[in-house]
Amino acid sequence: MMKKLIIGNWKMNLGVGEASLYLHKLSELIPAQRTVDVVLAPTMLTLQSLSLQINRRQFKLAAQNCYWRDQGAYTGEVSAAQLRGIADYVIIGHSERRYQFHESDKDTRAKVQAAVRNHLLPVLCVGETALERASNETADILHDQLTGGLANLTSDELAEITVAYEPVWAIGTGDNASPTDVRYAVSVIRRQMAQLFGAKAAKGVRVLYGGSVNIDNAEAYLKVQGVDGLLIGGVSLDAHQFASIVDKAYNLDDGRAS
């Protein structure tokens, strides 16, 4: 059985000093878990300093983005090669990158390949907008984003991938996806990966849910068949709520939840 994966995406919050203090607070609240991997995704500015502070038996680090070239004249970018040894994971194709910074499936594909090439674990984000959902295009959008993001990978390389379903219409809007919505999307994702890489390879991929996750709905999402964890945004900046969600994941996996 795969370990549950809980990722806290801090987005563009917390400076170097604040991030250090927050990590210390989390380390007091969240013990190393036997059945749950806890990953923190701070800003690029704070990654290196936190990598020196973090207990990697307790937490892993993720970059929120990377550039697909390993080196060169790309002012302002940070490559996957430069993140090697600092971060363990890298979030790729987050909806804010796709819709605010206009990243395409081609960009996403190149970044996934760069992460794999540099021994980082990509977290590929996929999800539809409210308009696409209203037009019954959810399955088509997920198909296109998965096919575009995972192209040119082998079945063996797929084992390094995590897919996060984050419906754009549910992120920070208060219009939460229902467990039924999530179950449908996750089934589409798993079916598409099986078609691309075979059922055995697809079965080994962790699929997360992300989109207005909070302490009240986290357990319901974790109980959805096929969901292996959560990608958490705003609530990951509340230490007690984040720790409580990690605890819920541990309890469910440990068979002690009601």
Residue-wise pLDDT tens digits, 164-182 = 999 999 886 667 899 999 9
Nearest-angstrom CA–CA distance, 22 and 25: 5
Instruction: Show which residues are catalytic.
Output: 94, 166
Question: What's the pLDDT band for 254 if we cut at 50, 70, 90?
Answer: low
Q: Are 107 and 68 in contact (CB under 8 A)?
A: yes
The pLDDT value given to residue 174: 67
The pLDDT value given to residue 175: 75
What single-letter DSSP state applies at residue 253?
H
- Give me the residues paired with residue 183 across strands: none
Q: Are 112 and 122 in contact (CB under 8 A)?
A: yes
What percent of the chain has a predicted confidence (pLDDT) above 90? Answer: 86
What single-letter DSSP state applies at residue 208?
E
Question: What's the pLDDT band for 243 if we cut at 50, 70, 90?
Answer: very high
Per-residue CA distances from 180 to 73, 141, 167, 185 (Å): 46, 18, 13, 9
* Poorest-pLDDT segment among 4-8, 14-18, 169-173, 251-255: 251-255
pLDDT in tens, 115-147: 999 999 999 999 999 999 999 999 999 999 999
Question: What's the pLDDT band for 256 if we cut at 50, 70, 90?
Answer: very low
pLDDT in tens, 54-112: 999 999 999 999 999 999 999 999 999 999 999 999 999 999 999 999 999 999 999 99
What single-letter DSSP state applies at residue 79?
B
pLDDT score of 189 more than 50: yes
Question: What's the pLDDT band for 150 if we cut at 50, 70, 90?
Answer: very high
The pLDDT value given to residue 258: 39
The pLDDT value given to residue 255: 55
The pLDDT value given to residue 76: 94
Q: What's the half-sphere exposure (Cβ side, CA atoms, 13 Å) at 7?
A: 34
- Average pLDDT, rounded, for the chain: 93
